[in-house]
Amino acid sequence: ISPNYYGFNEVVLEGFINYSGCEVQHIVSNEKYIYENFGEKAGNFFAKIFLGKNLKSEKAVKKLTSTINALEQFDYIVINRHDLLTKDQMLILKSKTKNLLSLLWDSLEKIPQLENNIDLFNKVYSFDGVDAEQHGFVKINNFYFIKKAVNNLNTFKVSYLGTYDKRIKQVIKFFTFFKEQEISSKAKIYIYHSELYKVKEVLPATVQFIHDIIPFSEAYKFYEDSKIILDLAHENQRGLSFRPYEAIGLKKKLITNNSEIMKYDFYDPQNIFVVDTGKEINIPVEFFESDYKEVEQSIADKYYIKNWVAKIIQDNE
């Protein structure tokens, strides 16, 4: 059970289908309610104006509750973003399994509401090591799901794919550096077209705004013609995003501002350059020119989605 967010849910769903050994059912928790007729739409319009109520949202909750009520018993129920469900919905789910599991792709600091109803779960999985230690969660790393051979025919040295947020200042800083050093690079930043008015920054020519989401299942293709992936962590991020793992699967080098990566067994300074973004960027030319060094296969396999799924299943057998 998860929201449809950049298509992450579809990749996880396919992973469970392929590698869990279970029959799998998927429920999208943020599916929008579609009006049955014009009268229903008009009624909601007046309810919002005169009653301060959003009947459409209430109907969406009722529809999801009805779907959950109709479920049979499951060996495992895994919920991503459980804060999008009501407590009543989660209590219904808890009655339908011996293994009610929460999967956190965000820290409690980033989404504080995730701490609500945490006691309902048999286990909570988090990529944030600090949250795991402080709250008794199970630490689980992110994963890669695409495997590629080393590609030496790279059009670009560096590529970056992200969303418009506070990291834009770092994006500008990096791509200005790449331009000054004559390092071929490209970046795409997703932003709603209606929110372009918020943009005050002047972007380097190699950074492009896009208004259509590139699904997670397709995003890796953006990096295929580049030698290096740029990874920019969110402020106060304590775990690793998906970018470092995608770099393993695609056999790409990585530039990141997340020093946490130096604690991991796949860290190799020939493949990964850690930048302190509080200082001037100074990446030696040798890093851009040197070849990718193959990660030991037993280490790389640990972070493949097959083993990510296996951990969740085996933990709760």
CA-to-CA distance for 128 and 233, rounded, in angstroms? 13
Q: What is the pLDDT of residues 99-132, one digit of tens each?
A: 999 999 888 888 888 889 999 999 999 998 889 9
Q: Mean pLDDT score of the chain, rounded to an integer?
A: 90
- Look up residue 185 and give its two tokens: 């690079």
Q: Are 239 and 288 members of one domain?
A: yes
Q: Are 187 and 290 members of one domain?
A: yes
Dihedral in degrees, nearest 10, Cα atoms 107, 110, 115, 116: -140
Q: What is the pLDDT of residues 183-215, one digit of tens each?
A: 999 999 999 888 888 899 999 999 999 999 899
Q: Are 173 and 291 members of one domain?
A: yes
Mean pLDDT of all residues in 10-21 = 96
3-class secondary structure, 207: strand
CA-to-CA distance for 210 and 193, rounded, in angstroms? 8
For residue 49, pLDDT beyond 80: no
Tell me the pTM.
Answer: 0.87
Provide the domain limits for residue 278.
156-302
Q: Are 12 and 135 members of one domain?
A: yes
Q: What is the pLDDT of residues 249-290, one digit of tens each?
A: 999 999 999 999 999 999 999 999 999 888 899 999 999 999
Measure the N-to-C terminal CA separation of the chain; round to a whole number of Å.
20
- Contact between 182 and 175 under an 8 Å Cβ cutoff? The reply is no
pLDDT reported for residue 46: 43
Q: Are 113 and 223 members of one domain?
A: no
pLDDT reported for residue 235: 79
Q: What is the pLDDT of residues 210-247, one digit of tens each?
A: 999 899 999 999 999 999 999 999 877 788 999 999 99
Evaluate whether residue 256 is within a structural domain.
yes
For residue 163, pLDDT beyond 60: yes
Q: Are 125 and 230 members of one domain?
A: no
End residue of a domain, out of 139, 173, 206: 139
pLDDT bucket at 30, cuts 50 / 70 / 90: confident
Tally of domains within the chain:
2
pLDDT reported for residue 36: 61
DSSP letter, residue 2: B
Helix (H) or strand (E) holding 157: strand 156-163
CA-to-CA distance for 275 and 295, rounded, in angstroms? 21
Triad 261, 269, 214: Cα angle to 5°? 55
CATH of the domain at 207: 3.40.50.2000
- Contact between 78 and 72 under an 8 Å Cβ cutoff? The reply is no
Q: Are 134 and 161 members of one domain?
A: no
Buried-exposed string 24-62: b where 16+ CB fall within 10 A, e elsewhere? eeebbbeeebeeeeeeeeeebeeeeeeeeeebbeebbee
CA-to-CA distance for 87 and 81, rounded, in angstroms? 13
